[in-house]
Amino acid sequence: MPEQPLADLSAFPPGFRWSAATAAFQVEGSRDADGRGRSIWDDFVDAPGLVRDGAVPDPGPDSYRRHRDDVALLKDLGVDRYRFSISWVRVQPEPGGPVLQAGLDYYRRLADDLLEAGVTPFATLYHWDLPSVLEERGGWLDRDTALRFGEYAEVAAQALGDRIRHWYTVNEPVSTSLQGYAVGTLAPGKQLLFASLPTAHHQLLAHGLALRALRDGGAVEAGIVNNHTLVLPAGETDADLGAAAAYDLLHNRIFADPVLTGAYPDLEAFGIPPMPVEEGDLDLISAPGDFYGINFYNPTTVAAAAEGSSIPFEIVPTPGAPVTGFGPEWPIVPSALTDLLVDFRERYGDRLPPLVIGENGASFPEPGHVEGPVADTDRIAYLAGHIEAVGAALAEGVDVREYTVWSLLDNFEWADGFTQRFGLVHVDFDTAERTPKASFDWYRALITEARS
């Protein structure tokens, strides 16, 4: 039993599921192996100056070659499920083109090994690695990308559906739209501001097409997962309240409302052009999922932007909140997760399916090389606080079924390269050696306690 106290689990019902997660581009490495194609993240990484320290994800944790090490860790950890993602370009380098048997075989082996270890494979179809050839044709700005994604979902469902029965469709469309296409801090690095918003609709359409394909392929459980944040106004002025409402619309409601209500919020009221909706789109997008996934890391405090700004809000530090390794952009306020979950229940009512926490975790400064377990007490405190926040939402009647730690492993943290470590397991990026941290033992003990 670890020295750190466990979280209060009194509100968690029997059968509540505990999980850990990774994503293909962040952990697999082997970008040139077995015919894998090129994604927008390969292009982003290879462009000078876009990734901190010029880091590249090879070999990183090297999970393409060492996935059995990961499965052994998951078995030891005792999780119910493992959330991982399937690399579109490892399975189908050219959308609409031939399927790579080597890529499919890798995911079959991974799923088989998980099942043998007693861990349910919970796969994400899309975790940001759009094929480069589609980006060259317009990427998520182009409706055709959603159609190609629907075809890819059919390929995955037909090839892997006998082993993988639980699926996330699209991960964090808000991050792709706002960071990838609006401000350019993530791939594909566009800076289109509000002109980026058609990418939101096309990703949601892709979700709807994928949900249909996965169901046809025998999926037991499927749904979308988005990054959501509790938006806090910096003050009580009309300007700050209006700025917070605008940010809530852009970060939360544009992505959740169509899925959960079948309609977009009133964009015209905020001076935003309508989405490129065609007949039947919203019926596809709002087809009931088996769950709604929420990734949560932090609240967002928003103030009115200075006069003349191209956007109507400014993200500011959250007063009095400690921060993670990302600094003021990632304040630590566990109660914000409770408030967000309750707000979802109140906002969407009986249209809200069971909720799944698809990601929650924190990075803190840690050494690159270790001789033994990292005493990551800050991470344990973060996880304990947020698990208790889920418990508080459960106590208020919110139907949450699963909690997922991001991440099982230290990995390639997108534009921040290897400077941010989220893992329950330390990875030496020179050798790919894995060393469980104190938080690994803590989470294992918590799962054991929850089942007792």
Catalytic residue positions, numbered? 172, 359
* Token output for 336: 């914000």
Q: Which two tokens stand for residue 416?
A: 């921040």
Asked if 110 and 84 count as a contact pair (C-beta separation under 8 A), the reply is yes
- Which residues sit opposite 356 in a β-bridge? 293, 402
Q: In this structure, are residues 414 and 186 in contact, taking their beta carbons and an 8 Å threshold? A: yes
Backbone dihedral angles phi then psi of residue 166, each to the nearest 5 degrees: -125, 130
The DSSP-derived string for 154-222 is HHHHHHHTTT--EEEEEE-HHIIIIIIIIS-SSTT----GGGGTHHHHHHHHHHHHHHHHHHHTT-SEE
Q: How far apart are CA 350 and CA 357, in angstroms?
A: 19
Q: What angle do CA 140, 145, 149 make, to 5 degrees?
A: 120
**Residues 186/173, Cβ–Cβ less than 8 Å:** no
Q: Hey, how many other C-beta atoms are within 10 angstroms of the C-beta on 39?
A: 27
What one-character-per-residue DSSP string does 15-76 give? T-EEEEE--HHHH---TTGGG---BHHHHHHHSTTSSGGG---SSTT-HHHHHHHHHHHHHH
Q: How many CB atoms lie within 10 A of CB 420?
A: 22
